[in-house]
Structure 1
Amino acid sequence: MAFAAPVAEQRFVLDQVVGLPELAATEMFAAASEDVVDAVLEGAGQFAEGEWAPLAKVGDTIGAQWTVDGVVMPAGYPEAYRAYVEGGWGTIGAPEAWGGQGLPFALQTAVLETLGGANTGFALCPTLTVGAIEALQHHGSPEQQALYLPHLATGEWTGTMNLTEPQAGSDVGALRTMATPRGDGRWSIKGTKIYISFGDHDMAPNIVHLVLARTPDAPPGTRGISLFLVPKYRLDADGKPGTFNDVRVVSIEHKMGLHASPTCVLSFGDHDDCLGELIGPEHGGLRAMFTMMNNARLNVGLQGVQIAEGATQGAVAYALDRVQSARAGSPDKAPIRIVDHPDVRRMLLRMKAQTQAARALVYYAAGQVDRATLGDAAAKGRLELVTPLAKAHATDLGNEVASIGIQVHGGMGYIEETGAARFFRDARITPIYEGTNGIQAADLVGRKLGLENGAVFAALIADIRADAKAAGLVELVEACDAAGRRLATADADDKLAASYPFLTMLSVATCGWLMEREAAAATGDDDFATMKRASARFYLEQIVPEALGLVAAANASAEALYAVPAEMFAA
């Protein structure tokens, strides 16, 4: 299944939703000139189409393999990763001080979308490295930054995030990994972490693990957590990888999808020889890790976009090629391409609209990252509010679009050779990791609605209300406002019971606002502008009204959920 980078769409969204020309007008992002942006988007597309996309099938069918010496990636992956490093694709948004290009995060988001659209599992590796850079940039010591950031910025070394443990799951406060001071400024690390994406591989000379652990006599729960830098190989006097640091990959998971991304069980300090360095203050680990996690949550939302784009491209290509049955009601009984049957048209247009909506939402959040970096306090608040929307709704849409893609293919979609099933298998993890979508909804109603005493939520509602023209969108934003104000003062059970439908409503309202903005800007008569207006029309006329159907659920109490005892669910 061929992949084509959606360069025209990316450029349009960067201009019309992110406002990239405004960012380029600032001193910090002056390098993001029109010709540079064009060159980056087109170059990333050519690279991804030529180097990464051809490896997607072997990555899925063969996958990463565990050996006693560590994880071995499928044939071609180490070479393709070296080409990524040598091409400078990891440096796009990395700080200039450490060898990066310092371009906007939104442009880096577009590059990551292209890489992940070509090969979703493979793109997890640089995605995690971006998060490690962010954490060290904000919380690392000058010495740590000088030693590690130049290598992470280029992608020469890769980074990971180590939170989850077998007994803890999403309850980070229950972790048991221990860090014991050695008296020389370093710490002995001992424990086990699970679900570590790209926790081991053979594509880079070093892997930089960021590990949450407890120190002796630390207070219980999340207050007692610290963050440590634990490289796979300790650095020698010249700053190069040297002695093995007693970090072993015990196994890799046998997963439903993302087979090219090794999901590792890592054991630290089996031989009491694993050394780490504290990042930031002791017991300040959760704050530092959330810097990385918030970045990761946006990039997981971006995976929803990547998968939706790939699934849509595959479904469109199949529908344009597959000939079956005559058009209903037509006097001509000759079979036609399935793209001309009404229900297939409905599915394809829904895929296009939902993919574009997810992209608009995630890119919009990325643009708020850049504005917050420039010191815009309102953008910082807006980013906090829309991050759970971008993570949860975009991944929900990735699953929906991938499922429809199989349906467009009919029975052939259920056959692995077409590649349609891979998108669905890859998509299913995205609503789960980096905080399940239920956790995102709980964060939205539990914390984000109350930001600045509700002013951040009110500002988003005001912006959508001021611009909304479609009748359904006007009705939806009013319903979101009413439900949000009710949830702000509801008790905990009622908040959480209504949180997911409310998140979906607010996400659709935000997407509808952005899609309406895109349609207004698509003024030409060319194919791109015509398709853009058609997608936006479908979204506003058919998807926005669906979200209004969630009003009852977003206003329901938790009473119905607890009408029966827990044991009765097994009846």
Structure 2
Amino acid sequence: MGNYNAPIRDVQFVLHEVFDAPAVWSASPVFADKLDREVADAILVEAGKIASQILAPLNRSGDEEGAKWVAGDVYTPKGFKEAYATYIEGGWVGLSGNTDYGGLGMPKMLSVHFEEMLYGSNSSFALYSVLSSGACLAIDAHASEDIKRLFLPPMYEGRWAGTMCLTEPQAGSDLAQIRTRAEPLEDGTYSITGSKIFITGGDHDLTENIIHLVLARIPGSPSGSSGLSLFLVPKRLVTERSVVAGANRVSCGSIEHKMGIKASATCVINFDGAEGYLLGDVNKGLTAMFTMMNYERLSIGIQGLGCADASYQSAVAYSRERHQGRTRKADPAGHTAAAPIIEHPDVRRMLLTMKALTEGGRAFACYLGSQLDIMKHGTSDAQRKAESYVALLTPVAKAFFTDNGLECTILGQQVFGGHGYIREWGQEQLVRDVRISQIYEGTNGIQSLDLLSRKVIADKAAALRSFCSELDDQAEHLNYRAELRSALTRFEELSNWLQDRALIEPNVVGSSSVEYLHFFGYVIYAWLWAKMSTVATLNIESDESFYAGKIATAEFYFRRLICRINALEASIYAGSDSLFGITSDQF
């Protein structure tokens, strides 16, 4: 048990059939000449091989050995360096990177599926790569041309890695409290001094250099987050030809001992007058850093999705082989045989819940990836709309994927019964590994506040209305149109009520935001399952077993899962008074 198989056929269904990506690419001046279904499928197959054959076999051993800190140096578990060397030979770090600097330039709606495979096979390994890809995105968007040409090619090659350095002991979600200093020098560089904690991949032995993106404060800058600037700080200094030179004043003080993702080095990084380069404008560091943070938030959401799918795969395999309980059929001697547990209703409930939430999430990730592609390559009007949708939907993807990820991995563990609690079956590791995804890159509570307070109320629901209107228009041509439109109507009424209520009950936003995000997530999945059901119905004769499975899962979603919005709705309409009926000293 515990073997990971890349879900190629399911990805092809979403990518090619539900969203018709080949038609989108053929109409794009960016992708038309280099990408079609055949090329995309070849990429997916190779990605699947990397995930299932190279990374998955290291998942358990990496967890057991963990990353190690020895006298200031960090070492990854046995086999990671060799796997990473194979990984970068295929150019995977730069899969969606800018082709001007050595990236492969593939669309995001393709690369999200690759990331799912990475996380599903080995979350710890995946983090080293996705942090580098995110750092490249920020450098490409905000650095000078000289900096891009110096740092991006070796990062896309995988010779150099990247990190994001925000958190300090006193500054977690409240980045306004950052104290790291950046002193300007005569040559245009900066001297960076301070300590950062919880830095994923902050130090390791996979690459010859590590490029840190660091939020710091230039003396004299305004207080608060408006006075932060972003700096590129290499672990080792480099020459004008992207060659590693002497050591910079950057060191790893320690690594954390964690509940999960133990092969991923989570570091304390110290900057002691280290040489750094300004990225973007002075005092605009948080804006520049959000280019990377938003990428990572979607990516961490996909971590929840990948772990859920890995758990589902193992649970299905186990439930087919494990025989417990009696069937109603008797043998010729009158004895009843033990049945595979997949025949029992409660096990089916758990497996179908996992399947519906995971496949709904996969479709959502693909859609959000398409919006990121439009935001980057579309016409100006299309870009503006896509940008508003990405802002609206990113917190939903991050929080809903990861909350569902924990639910699904726990369900998978439950299918195994006592064996799910035992290390060698793999399920307990998935529970531990996915748990962090609800916490880092902005806790899910913060994602919910961001959605309701900033993306809905502060925006006067403009993007939300536009998005929901599109879903309502599509519903006319989809299966489950009545159920989808009912959920949409209730969600829009709830959104209007919250906007009005927030004017007279300030705490209603904070007390309702988590439930609100979940309500929205279930509505989005209802739209996607209606789409998937419709496509499957139209194609069922070509592959009856595959498409019938999609149709049956959609039916389960609309009969057993969408009704969760009833409880969420009731909780929100109850308001915030009950949260403050107890004083702080009564807890």
Cα-to-partner distance string for 1:531-559 (whole Å, 9 max, x where unaligned): 11121111111110112221112223222
For residue 561 of structure 2, what is the aligned residue in structure 1? 543
For residue 315 of structure 1, what is the aligned residue in structure 2? 315
Structure 2 CA distance for aligned equivalents of residues 553 and 115 of structure 1: 37
Unaligned 5+ runs, structure 2: none
- Residues 192 and 267, structure 1, Cα contact 8 Å, conserved in 2: yes
Over 3 Å counting, the alpha-carbon distance change for 1:19 and 1:451 in structure 2 is farther
- Residues 180 and 217, structure 2, Cα contact 8 Å, conserved in 1: yes
For residue 107 of structure 2, what is the aligned residue in structure 1? 104
1:327 is paired with a residue of what secondary structure? strand
The answer to whether structure 1 residue 404 and structure 2 residue 411 are counterparts is yes
The answer to whether structure 1 residue 191 and structure 2 residue 194 are counterparts is yes
Which residue among 505, 517, 531 is the counterpart of 2:519? Answer: 505
Deviation at 1:310, TM superposition (A): 0.4
Structure 1 CA distance for aligned equivalents of residues 432 and 83 of structure 2: 23
Over 3 Å counting, the alpha-carbon distance change for 1:172 and 1:328 in structure 2 is farther
- Residues 498 and 556, structure 1, Cα contact 8 Å, conserved in 2: no
For residue 179 of structure 1, what is the aligned residue in structure 2? 182
Q: What residue identity is the alignment partner of 1:303? A: Q
For residue 2 of structure 1, what is the aligned residue in structure 2? 3
- Residues 228 and 286, structure 2, Cα contact 8 Å, conserved in 1: yes
- Residues 154 and 242, structure 2, Cα contact 8 Å, conserved in 1: no
Structure 1 CA distance for aligned equivalents of residues 557 and 159 of structure 2: 42
Deviation at 1:237, TM superposition (A): 4.2
Structure 1 CA distance for aligned equivalents of residues 154 and 498 of structure 2: 46
Deviation at 1:183, TM superposition (A): 1.4
Cα-to-partner distance string for 1:239-262 (whole Å, 9 max, x where unaligned): 211111111111111111011111
Structure 1 CA distance for aligned equivalents of residues 104 and 240 of structure 2: 28
Structure 2 CA distance for aligned equivalents of residues 17 and 439 of structure 1: 31
Deviation at 1:466, TM superposition (A): 3.0
The answer to whether structure 1 residue 484 and structure 2 residue 485 are counterparts is no
- Residues 250 and 271, structure 2, Cα contact 8 Å, conserved in 1: yes
- TM-score, normalised by the number of residues in structure 2: 0.94
Which residue among 432, 444, 448 is the counterpart of 1:441? Answer: 448
The answer to whether structure 1 residue 40 and structure 2 residue 46 are counterparts is no
- Residues 64 and 74, structure 1, Cα contact 8 Å, conserved in 2: yes
* Mean Cα deviation higher: 521-530 or 421-430: 521-530
Structure 2 CA distance for aligned equivalents of residues 91 and 527 of structure 1: 37
The answer to whether structure 1 residue 29 and structure 2 residue 40 are counterparts is no
Q: What residue identity is the alignment partner of 2:97? A: A
2:232 is paired with a residue of what secondary structure? strand
- Residues 304 and 358, structure 1, Cα contact 8 Å, conserved in 2: no
Cα-to-partner distance string for 1:416-472 (whole Å, 9 max, x where unaligned): 111110110011111111111111111111111147542211122222233343544
Q: 1:201-216 alignment to 2 at 5 Å?
A: 201-216=204-219
For residue 394 of structure 2, what is the aligned residue in structure 1? 387
Structure 2 CA distance for aligned equivalents of residues 506 and 22 of structure 1: 29
1:336 is paired with a residue of what secondary structure? strand
For residue 372 of structure 1, what is the aligned residue in structure 2? 375
Deviation at 1:332, TM superposition (A): 5.5
For residue 336 of structure 1, what is the aligned residue in structure 2? 339
Deviation at 1:91, TM superposition (A): 2.5
- Residues 18 and 106, structure 1, Cα contact 8 Å, conserved in 2: no
- Residues 356 and 554, structure 2, Cα contact 8 Å, conserved in 1: yes
For residue 53 of structure 1, what is the aligned residue in structure 2? 56
- Residues 8 and 48, structure 2, Cα contact 8 Å, conserved in 1: yes
Structure 2 CA distance for aligned equivalents of residues 61 and 168 of structure 1: 31
For residue 576 of structure 2, what is the aligned residue in structure 1? 558
For residue 90 of structure 2, what is the aligned residue in structure 1? 87
Cα-to-partner distance string for 1:331-357 (whole Å, 9 max, x where unaligned): 852111111111111111111111111
Deviation at 1:477, TM superposition (A): 1.4
Deviation at 1:281, TM superposition (A): 0.8
Structure 1 CA distance for aligned equivalents of residues 576 and 213 of structure 2: 38
Q: What residue identity is the alignment partner of 2:582? A: V
Deviation at 1:10, TM superposition (A): 1.0
Deviation at 1:15, TM superposition (A): 2.3
For residue 549 of structure 2, what is the aligned residue in structure 1? 531
For residue 243 of structure 2, what is the aligned residue in structure 1? 240
Deviation at 1:84, TM superposition (A): 0.7
Q: 1:298-309 alignment to 2 at 5 Å?
A: 298-309=298-309
Q: What residue identity is the alignment partner of 2:295? A: N
Q: What residue identity is the alignment partner of 1:494? A: V
Cα-to-partner distance string for 1:88-137 (whole Å, 9 max, x where unaligned): 22222111101111110111111111122111111011111111111011
* Mean Cα deviation higher: 471-480 or 508-517: 471-480
The answer to whether structure 1 residue 474 and structure 2 residue 476 are counterparts is no
The answer to whether structure 1 residue 428 and structure 2 residue 435 are counterparts is yes
Structure 2 CA distance for aligned equivalents of residues 237 and 223 of structure 1: 32
For residue 169 of structure 1, what is the aligned residue in structure 2? 172
- Residues 162 and 196, structure 1, Cα contact 8 Å, conserved in 2: yes
Which residue among 108, 123, 126 is the counterpart of 1:123? Answer: 126
2:231 is paired with a residue of what secondary structure? strand
Deviation at 1:69, TM superposition (A): 4.0
Structure 2 CA distance for aligned equivalents of residues 499 and 201 of structure 1: 38
Structure 1 CA distance for aligned equivalents of residues 215 and 126 of structure 2: 24
1:261 is paired with a residue of what secondary structure? coil
* Mean Cα deviation higher: 196-205 or 553-562: 553-562
Deviation at 1:303, TM superposition (A): 0.5
2:29 is paired with a residue of what secondary structure? coil
For residue 456 of structure 1, what is the aligned residue in structure 2? 463
- Residues 326 and 332, structure 1, Cα contact 8 Å, conserved in 2: no
For residue 222 of structure 2, what is the aligned residue in structure 1? 219
Structure 1 CA distance for aligned equivalents of residues 523 and 258 of structure 2: 34
Cα-to-partner distance string for 1:310-366 (whole Å, 9 max, x where unaligned): 000111111111111212687852111111111111111111111111212222111
Cα-to-partner distance string for 1:350-404 (whole Å, 9 max, x where unaligned): 1111111121222211111011112322111111111111000000110000000
Q: What residue identity is the alignment partner of 1:116? A: Y
- Residues 472 and 545, structure 1, Cα contact 8 Å, conserved in 2: no
Q: What residue identity is the alignment partner of 2:430? A: F
Deviation at 1:18, TM superposition (A): 4.2
* Mean Cα deviation higher: 251-260 or 147-156: 147-156
For residue 297 of structure 1, what is the aligned residue in structure 2? 297
Over 3 Å counting, the alpha-carbon distance change for 1:257 and 1:546 in structure 2 is same
Cα-to-partner distance string for 1:192-243 (whole Å, 9 max, x where unaligned): 1011001000000011000000010111110000000000101024321111
Structure 2 CA distance for aligned equivalents of residues 9 and 476 of structure 1: 26
Q: What residue identity is the alignment partner of 1:400? A: E
2:183 is paired with a residue of what secondary structure? strand
Q: What residue identity is the alignment partner of 2:298? A: L
Percent identical pairs in the alignment equals 40
Which residue among 216, 226, 231 is the counterpart of 1:228? Answer: 231
Over 3 Å counting, the alpha-carbon distance change for 1:502 and 1:83 in structure 2 is same
- Residues 109 and 365, structure 2, Cα contact 8 Å, conserved in 1: no
- TM-score, normalised by the number of residues in structure 1: 0.97
Structure 2 CA distance for aligned equivalents of residues 510 and 237 of structure 1: 48
Structure 1 CA distance for aligned equivalents of residues 335 and 489 of structure 2: 48
Over 3 Å counting, the alpha-carbon distance change for 1:17 and 1:298 in structure 2 is farther
2:233 is paired with a residue of what secondary structure? strand
- Residues 236 and 242, structure 1, Cα contact 8 Å, conserved in 2: yes
Over 3 Å counting, the alpha-carbon distance change for 1:287 and 1:19 in structure 2 is farther
1:325 is paired with a residue of what secondary structure? strand
Cα-to-partner distance string for 1:38-75 (whole Å, 9 max, x where unaligned): 10001111122111111101111111111114110111
Q: What residue identity is the alignment partner of 1:477? A: L
- Residues 72 and 254, structure 2, Cα contact 8 Å, conserved in 1: no
